[in-house]
Structure 1
Amino acid sequence: MQRRARRKFDDEPENHERWLISYADFITLLFAFFVVMYSIAAVNTGKYKIFSDALGDAFGGQGSAKPINTQVQNLPIPNPALRRRTELLRKEKEQMTKLAQDLLSTLAPLVKEGKVRVTQNSRGVSVEINASVLFDPGAALLTSESREALQAVAVLLKADPHAVQVEGHTDNLPIRNTNFPSNWELSAARAGAVVRLFIDSGVAPARLTAVGHADNYPVAPNAQADGRARNRRVAVTILSGIPDPATEVPTAPAPPAAPPAP
């Protein structure tokens, strides 16, 4: 009996397809591995959360994985020198803005009449005064009315540490007399007259510069009388101590382009 039962067990055919079970498990794991690699290579916040939740449910995990933060955070500037320069530049702009507001308030009547313009840029604060407010035609002596306005400006400049550049401009009509052989001498003399008044009003001479540009930097066409009147001007620029390199402009406007050759 025992020999016969054992022979029956030994005679059972061998199962040659059991390897398919291990192979199927290996393929499943390999597929899961490539899915994970793909999801890491191209992160999508919504798809990543759905996929992590699905894996957690499938493998019995405790909760889903935390989503990856793909947003760029605003970190502080790491360079101390750059951070300090940025802060100094901010304070300088605030100081120049206050100065521009004070000048606008002081020269408000002339600003309303269109005879004075106050502007602010990367160079600093510029006060552009029409020459008719300051001088008689063809002259470089300040009128009594203009002295009052300029002395009010000098009071603000005296308490301010910035350098000041005074630029004289004329129209393109030539002038030839014993005092001013050309517009160069006239524009330089007018700038010098404003500088002398500032010095007499208490502004330190070392902070002042006088420049004559003649008719080389017009702000309006010289073909008509109103354009020539705008070009006859004196510009007082309070120069910023920390120019902004991102918006820095030349010290004078570019001259107009020459007409093309015929």
Structure 2
Amino acid sequence: MAEEGLRPIIVKRIKKGGGGHHGGAWKIAYADFVTAMMAFFLLMWLLGSTTKGDLNGISEYFKTPLKVAMEGGSGSGDSSSILKGGGKDLTRSEGQVKASDDPAVKKTFNLTAAKAALEAEENQRLKALKEKIENKIDANPLLKKYKEQLLLDITNDGLRIQIVDEKNRPMFALAKADLQPYTKDILHEIGFVLNDVPNRIGLSGHTDSTPYMSETGYSNWELSADRANASRRELIAGGMNDAKVLRVVGLASAVNLDKADPFNPINRRISIVVMNKRAEESVLRDGRQIEVSAEDAAAAAAAAGAPPPAQAAPSGPPVRK
């Protein structure tokens, strides 16, 4: 019994082998086969969908890759390519630089000539407006009576319409900004006609050199500005668009029309300027300053005792209408 208790216990372990056709090596081979088949079908699809031009380009690249890369060549940019050298004609076997084989026509623009043409066109439009106002004055019995008090001329700033005083026929009440009834009628007729052109307008009021100063400090400067603003209101009352007004100034007696006689009633006037594009841009430009016509600027400088500024060639004396 004691010997049976000391008998060793033997445990048999069976070790299974991993070789033979039951191993996992076949999975790696199968994955390689599938990858190769996918690459093959992808290559076939690319070859089938590539145009002949692309094939020729690829062939040229592998023959002389540096030359094609630096200089391009037949087929280097196919018609269906979105890269440089491509085009839109899919029937072509070689690349296109443009959708058409016609030689490119370079367009050049002469800005100076274009600007001169626009200025000439605008000048013709202002001349047509001047003729229309003159015809309206001749056709209207009311305006025809005051024909001698209406001066129209073309200046460097545009069409200038001046309504001047006569000794026995003033436009305003004495030393006031109240317009006479006939002055209102004149401004109503002019205001309606000014809508025929897109140009903006500027108004300036003028007095003669007769000293005027009230106890409150009200002088010819305030009077001329008030008269210009009163004229603006009557132009709008006559039908002119309020947005057309760009500038309203009072110049007192600084710019006399009759320089030989500063007390002449003709110096008391309202000046309406239908501004050309150059004058309008001068007013609208940043850092602008109020400007008057070249003739008025020279006269103002002479009145102040300063040398006259440089100015363009004179446009001729005003035409009395």
Instruction: Report the secondary structure of 1:237's partner residue.
Output: strand
Which amino acid in the other structure matches residue 122 of structure 2? E
Which amino acid in the other structure matches residue 229 of structure 2? G
Residues 124/158 of structure 1: CA separation in 2 closer, same or farther (3 Å cut): same
CA contact 1:151–1:197 (8 Å) conserved in 2:
yes
CA contact 2:206–2:252 (8 Å) conserved in 1:
yes
What CA deviation, in whole Å up to 9, does each residue of 1:102-140 have, x standing for no partner? 122223455875211100122110011114452122121
Pairing 1:86–2:125 present = no
Aligned to 1:96: 126
Pairing 1:159–2:189 present = no
Aligned to 2:277: 241
Aligned to 1:127: 161
Bigger relative contact order (CA 8 A; separation at least 6): 1
Which amino acid in the other structure matches residue 231 of structure 2? V
Pairing 1:253–2:297 present = yes
Q: Which runs of 5+ in 1 are unaligned?
A: 1-77
CA contact 1:168–1:234 (8 Å) conserved in 2:
yes
Q: Pick which of 104-113 and 190-199 moved more.
A: 104-113
Aligned length: 177
Instruction: Report the secondary structure of 2:294's partner residue.
Output: coil
Which amino acid in the other structure matches residue 223 of structure 2? L
Identity %: 22
Residues 178/150 of structure 1: CA separation in 2 closer, same or farther (3 Å cut): farther
Residues 164/179 of structure 1: CA separation in 2 closer, same or farther (3 Å cut): farther
What CA deviation, in whole Å up to 9, does each residue of 1:73-125 have, x standing for no partner? xxxxx753223222212211110110111122223455875211100122110
Aligned-partner Cα distance in 1 for 2:259–2:296:
17
Pairing 1:118–2:152 present = yes
Pairing 1:169–2:201 present = no
Residues 137/257 of structure 1: CA separation in 2 closer, same or farther (3 Å cut): closer
Which amino acid in the other structure matches residue 135 of structure 2? S
Which amino acid in the other structure matches residue 297 of structure 2? P
Residues 162/138 of structure 1: CA separation in 2 closer, same or farther (3 Å cut): same
Which amino acid in the other structure matches residue 151 of structure 1? H
Aligned to 2:265: 229
Which amino acid in the other structure matches residue 236 of structure 1? I
Q: Which runs of 5+ in 2 are unaligned?
A: 1-107, 280-291, 307-321
Aligned-partner Cα distance in 2 for 1:123–1:198:
20
Aligned to 1:140: 177
Pairing 1:220–2:264 present = no
CA contact 1:154–1:202 (8 Å) conserved in 2:
yes
What CA deviation, in whole Å up to 9, does each residue of 1:213-247 have, x standing for no partner? 011111214757xx52111111111001246xxxx
What CA deviation, in whole Å up to 9, does each residue of 1:6-34 have, x standing for no partner? xxxxxxxxxxxxxxxxxxxxxxxxxxxxx
What CA deviation, in whole Å up to 9, does each residue of 1:158-216 have, x standing for no partner? 23211111110101112233687100011001000011112223323232121100111
Give TM-score, length-normalised by structure 1: 0.59
Q: CA RMSD in A?
A: 2.8
Aligned-partner Cα distance in 1 for 2:216–2:130:
35
Aligned-partner Cα distance in 1 for 2:260–2:205:
16
Aligned to 1:211: 249
Residues 82/259 of structure 1: CA separation in 2 closer, same or farther (3 Å cut): closer
Residues 110/259 of structure 1: CA separation in 2 closer, same or farther (3 Å cut): farther
Aligned to 1:46: none
What CA deviation, in whole Å up to 9, does each residue of 1:50-71 have, x standing for no partner? xxxxxxxxxxxxxxxxxxxxxx
